[in-house]
Amino acid sequence: MPAPYSQDIRQRVVDAYKAKLGSQQQLAERFQGVLIVRSTLDT
């Protein structure tokens, strides 16, 4: 099983989303993965 994402990267995703720096897809590309964006924003 892959290691969990750090709190730091999760916070960066949330901050970017709240600042409207892109769609979930754009943020996934920026942060190198769809799963981290979806799992972080869905919690």
In a domain, residue 22? The reply is: yes
In a domain, residue 30? The reply is: yes
In a domain, residue 15? The reply is: yes
In this prediction, residue 16 carries a pLDDT of 92
CA–CA separation, 4 and 1 (whole Å): 9
In a domain, residue 2? The reply is: no
In this prediction, residue 13 carries a pLDDT of 85
In this prediction, residue 19 carries a pLDDT of 97
In a domain, residue 32? The reply is: yes
Cβ contacts of 35 within 8 Å, gap of 6 or more: none
In this prediction, residue 1 carries a pLDDT of 55
Task: Give me the number of domains the chain comprises.
Answer: 1
Task: Tell me the average confidence (pLDDT) per consecutive run of 10 residues in the chain, 43 residues long.
Answer: 75 91 87 69 69
In a domain, residue 12? The reply is: yes
In a domain, residue 28? The reply is: yes
Domain range for 18 is 7-41
In a domain, residue 1? The reply is: no
